[in-house]
A and B are shown apart, each in its own frame.
Chain A
């Protein structure tokens, strides 16, 4: 964009619109409209807080600008935040706390994210946190997580949990037929009679199962209350 009278910055919670002090009001309004129109696609229809910087605005002017913004893109303006250093530092601190915590395994085991879709041969899904996969993990695909992995589908590929060496991590799947499971530093592979199994294996074997480490060995058991009681998060 040629005009620099309007700059959009963003932080975790919302947008900061930096306005040039010297540009006259009418031009500025046009610039704001143009800026948001051109980036409408980028923002999509998210809900955001809005903050104006760089120029003193009256209440009416703020309203006028927020109207212009909602006219030109799909952003839903949740609120207009005053420029306030105290809130910003508080936000920053909260963010940093979260980041630091995120490095510990404890947080990884308890935090999680979701992935929807089939992981196909050659695809690798890596996560700092635990992960729930809504789909299958096909042979040749690989999931790596510092936390736990739960597959709401068939697990036929490779999975590596507790990737920072945590042997209390686990893998669970609705249908458990993995190529390899690695938990911390313990590795288990499927039996060698695999091709026959994948051909002949039918529903009766498909109970949800969980894999965990006990005394240096990986065990795969049907998910029962007793087994779940032994899991430590």
Chain B
């Protein structure tokens, strides 16, 4: 039984694509067969974050328009043989695909995979509608900023209006030192506003920037963000994983930093 998960946020630049890449990698690491679909037609970059850009021959629009078979467009990941990417087109725009076509395309993939991850474009227009059309559940990515939370709130409303009621929250780029000082909203503050269940918090970690630039997702490695993403993956599978204590980890790193001073 496959599960179709859309990763969305409303606001741009909060980490949808990075989260998709890491959750996809994490789930594959846990032995699930996963396909990630980049639905951001015209602004594709999931392939870049995955480091698979050079392998793209066909894309999502080609599949929808019948220029190629599904198998030809799916790109196998270089690290995990059970992880696939369906890249988006760069030379077209969102109107090249409609929600009905997306549903059909995803129904074709359902028997083949355990998890189908949809990387949603920013905004609430056609691209968003395409991405959520076939989704069973949604992961909302937000940063602890009022603008991102405002957009996330709107997105949750739209998802509920479209009968997607399994909605979980990922709070990204959390800086515990700033939360402590009262300069950043805490996880609790964000949950309080959005009133949906948290599935994970990812700390602001420079490893993520490096990993993204190198096209090597870090889910499951020893970095803070890598552990956080792995925990999210386990929770997606239904495991009960306690929230990692970002604070003590921050403290630990602070201690090391002190040692080097």
**Residue positions of A touching B, CB distance < 8 A:** 118, 120-123, 135-136, 138-140, 156, 195, 198-200
Candidates B153, B184, B189; contact of A120 at CB < 8 Å: B153
Of the listed stretches B30-38, B84-92, B154-162, B226-234, chain A binds B154-162
B residues in contact with A140, CB < 8 Å: 150, 153-154
B77 within 8 A of A: no
Contact assessment for B182 and A199 in the assembled complex, using a CB-CB cutoff below 8 Å: yes
In the assembled complex, the CB of A179 is this many whole angstroms from the nearest CB of chain B, namely 11
Known: A123-B157, A198-B146. 17 other contacts (CB 8 A): A121-B150, A121-B153, A121-B154, A121-B157, A122-B157, A136-B193, A136-B195, A138-B193, A139-B150, A140-B150, A140-B154, A156-B193, A199-B182, A199-B183, A199-B184, A199-B185, A200-B182
A98 to B238, CA, bound (A): 52
Q: Say yes or no: is B151 at the interface (Cβ < 8 Å to chain A).
A: yes
Q: Is the CB of B189 within 8 A of A121?
A: no
Distance, CA A135 to CA B153, complexed state (A) = 14
> In the complex, which residues of chain A have a beta carbon less than 8 angstroms from the beta carbon of B153?
120-121, 138-140
- What secondary structure prevails in chain A residues at the interface with B? loop
In the complex, A123→B157 CA distance in Å? 7
The answer to whether B182 and A120 touch across the interface, beta carbons within 8 angstroms, is: no
Q: How far is the CA of A156 from the CA of B153 in the complex (A)?
A: 12
The docked-state distance in angstroms from the alpha carbon of A173 to that of B182 is 26
Interface of B is mostly: helix
B160 neighbours in A (Cβ, 8 Å): 120
**CB neighbors of A among B184-209 (8 A):** 184-185, 189, 193, 195
Interface size class of B (residues with CB under 8 A): 10 to 19
* 4 interchain residue pairs of minimum CB distance: A120-B157, A121-B154, A121-B153, A122-B154
Residues of the A chain whose Cβ atoms lie less than 8 Å from the Cβ of B183: 199
B156: chain A residues within 8 A (beta carbon): 120
Quick check: A120 and B146 within 8 Å, CB to CB? no
Q: Are B146 and A195 in contact (CB under 8 A)?
A: yes
Determine whether the beta carbon of B151 is less than 8 Å from that of A121: yes
Q: List chain A residues, Cβ under 8 A from B193.
A: 136, 138, 156
Q: For chain B residues 48-76, which have a beta carbon within 8 Å of chain A? A: none
Q: List 28 A-B contacts (CB under 8 A).
A: A118-B195, A120-B153, A120-B154, A120-B156, A120-B157, A120-B160, A121-B150, A121-B151, A121-B154, A121-B157, A122-B154, A122-B157, A122-B158, A123-B157, A135-B195, A136-B193, A139-B146, A139-B150, A139-B153, A140-B154, A156-B193, A195-B146, A198-B146, A199-B182, A199-B183, A199-B184, A199-B189, A200-B182
Residue of A whose beta carbon sits closest to that of B151: A121
Q: Mark B156-173, 1 if CB is under 8 A from A, else 0.
A: 111010000000000000
